[in-house]
Structure 1
């Protein structure tokens, strides 16, 4: 939940790299909960947006950017 909140840009980059590397190395799915849209779009193959506890959009990052 919010893996980069309050971190400086260098450490944020390290956390992003760690998530990406571990996901590839272990061949796992990761769920990242964040309010940082740029982080979500960078890390994800699918993005879900919630509003009032309901999914209002679920799509690939490229389609998400267009909406």
Structure 2
């Protein structure tokens, strides 16, 4: 799809272009610096994913070794 100036855009495209223009103007003037909290976020989702994966792996190993025990 070619982006030409003679075709009318819908309201979503107009809003996206406006938001991009505002963002570009603010970043050029330095009026909107990123907050310090965003720079040093702790990756909670990654840590939770690793924890859940480790628990699933441990449960699978315990389940698979259930039949290998000696009875008696």
TM-score category by the smaller chain?
0.3 to 0.5
- What TM-score results when the alignment is normalised by the length of structure 1? 0.32
Structure ranking higher in strand proportion: 1
Higher relative contact order (CA 8 A, sep 6+): 1
Higher Cα Rg, which structure: 2
Structure ranking higher in helix proportion: 2
